[in-house]
Amino acid sequence: MAKYVAWMAAFFFLSPLTPGILHRVKARLLARRGPSLFQPYRDAWKLLHKGMVIPESATFLYTFGPIVAFASYWVLGYLHPPFSTSAASMTSGADVVLIAYLLGLARFMMALAVLDVGAPFGAMGSSRQFFFQALAEPTFFIALSTLIARNHTSNVHSFSTRQEGMHLEVGLLLALFALVIVFLAEGGRLPFDSPETHLELTMAEGGPALSYSGPLLLLLEWGNAMRLTFFLLFLAHVSAIILSPVPVDRWTRLWFWGVEGFIFLTLVVLLGVLEVHIGKLRLKRVVAPFALALILAITSVLLM
């Protein structure tokens, strides 16, 4: 119990470090010095002390959107096992399918919030997010079914690590690649959506954020940081499961979490490299990477 509380608190407070590191990496790759690692916290502090401007046409749904999005992104953290447990509880209810539903809840309430106001920027961005979701969701479920078939459970807390003498799991690797593409789309990263710009022609994620100011914007930004952290952590966890041996005693367990942390940092750097080197795809072109992800996912099911 205490471990879960500590983990959820750590997930909440440390998440903004991920975009901090990411910005630093990207700046370095472009030969700039870049902001401090703690810049997201400073931005948060600034936003917290600003006022909120509420549009005249707004109902309660407008304020409800960012709050629900924030809450569901935080609860995503529950779907990663806390650091010190290895014997997972079967009834913890940390089902992988919940990832899709929590993201769906956040997206749905944000869509209602921006349509409540009615300004075109937010609604257009939200509409694009739903387009991505419609393309990503089947792939997501199929890739998850590979993960589930391998672990004999859909409970993340009971995912088992590599057994002795197991050969390299090719199916799982393919599923992992499919998940990477799905998460890039769901997380609003390049090449699907460019997180840095606020140009209405390119944005999906940025659109809804334009309707908000002050503490409500803070909720959105912090939520996005938590979502990004969760995606990378989840990928790191699954990769660590493939690579590292069974944690039996304290030292192997420590080794396991060390491997996972290392993969996590590598993924942050890789994301930075990716975002510096590629541009955003035209809206209709995103079908191609989704098709690739779908093929990978289906192949992974058949290979498992």
Partner 1 sequence: MKDASWVITLLFGVLTVGFVVGTIVPRRFPTRRALNVLTRVSLVSVGLGGLLGTWLGAEVLFFRSTPLRLSIWPTPSPAASQGQVVIPFLPLDFYADRLTGLFLLIVGFFTLILAVYSWGWLARDPRRHWVAGAFNFFVLALFLTLLVNGAFWLLLALELVTLASSYLMLYRSEGTRNERVQEAGRVAVRTYLVISHISIAFLLTAFLLLGLRAQTVAAQAPVFSFDTYRHFFRTGAQVPHTGMDSVIFLLLLLGLSIRAGMIPFHFWVPIAHPELPTNTHAMMSAIMLKIPVYLMIRLLLELFPPQAWWWGGILLLLAGGTALLTVFYALVSPDLKRALAYHSAENIGIIMAGLGFALLFQYQTKEGVMFGQLTQLALIAALYHTVNHATFKTLLFMGTGSFERRTGTVVFKELGGLLRLYPWTAVPFLVGALSIVGLPPFNGFVSEWLTLQTIFAGGQALRQVASPALLVLTVVTLLALGAAFALTAVAFVKIVSETLLGPPAAVRSRYRGSWAMHGTMVLLALLCVVLGMAPFLLLPALQRAIQGLTETPSPVHATSMTLMVRLSEQDGLAYHASISLIPTLLLVGTVMLVGGIVWRALARARVSDTVWAGGEPFVPRKMHYSGTAFSFLIWEVMARDPEHIKPDHPLPAYYRVTETRAVPELVNRWYNRLILLTLQTSEWVGNFVQGGDIRRYLIYIFATFLVVLLATLLLRQ
Name which position in 10, 52, 246, 254 contacts partner 1 (CB under 8 A). Answer: 52
Residue number, 26 or 290, with CB nearest to partner 1 = 290
What is the nearest approach in angstroms of partner 1 to the Cβ of residue 132?
9
Name which position in 17, 27, 37, 71 contacts partner 1 (CB under 8 A). Answer: 71
The reply on whether position 64 binds partner 1 by CB under 8 A is: yes
Q: How far apart are CA 269 and CA 24, in angstroms?
A: 10
Q: How far apart are CA 67 and CA 50, in angstroms?
A: 17
The reply on whether position 88 binds partner 1 by CB under 8 A is: no
Q: How far apart are CA 187 and CA 231, in angstroms?
A: 8
What is the nearest approach in angstroms of partner 1 to the Cβ of residue 235?
20
Is 297 buried (19+), middle (13-18) or exposed (0-12) by CB count in 10 A? buried
Query: What residue spans of 187-249 are helical by DSSP H?
Result: 206-210, 214-243
What is the nearest approach in angstroms of partner 1 to the Cβ of residue 46?
16
What is the nearest approach in angstroms of partner 1 to the Cβ of residue 114?
8
Footprint (CB under 8 A) of partner 1, residues 262-301: 283, 294, 298, 301
Footprint (CB under 8 A) of partner 1, residues 198-257: 200, 210-211, 215-216, 219
Q: How far apart are CA 195 and CA 203, in angstroms?
A: 8
Positive or negative: CA dihedral 64, 66, 70, 73: positive
114's enclosing H/E stretch is: helix 97-117
Nearest CA to 223 out of 104, 106, 63 is that of 106
Angle separating helix axes 120-151 and 287-303, nearest 10 degrees: 10
Footprint (CB under 8 A) of partner 1, residues 132-191: 133-134, 136-142, 144-145, 148-149, 152-155, 158
The reply on whether position 53 binds partner 1 by CB under 8 A is: yes
The reply on whether position 94 binds partner 1 by CB under 8 A is: yes
Footprint (CB under 8 A) of partner 1, residues 6-45: 8
Q: How far apart are CA 297 and CA 303, in angstroms?
A: 10
The reply on whether position 112 binds partner 1 by CB under 8 A is: yes
Binding range to partner 1, per CB under 8 A, among 102-110, 180-188, 254-262, 273-281 = 102-110
Residue number, 28 or 162, with CB nearest to partner 1 = 162
Q: How far apart are CA 14 and CA 35, in angstroms?
A: 17
Cα 164 to chain centroid distance, Å, stands at 31
Name which position in 17, 28, 39, 104 contacts partner 1 (CB under 8 A). Answer: 104
What is the nearest approach in angstroms of partner 1 to the Cβ of residue 61?
7
Q: How many residues bind partner 1 (CB under 8 A)?
A: 83
Give me the half-sphere count of Cα atoms (radius 13 Å) on the Cβ side of residue 188: 28
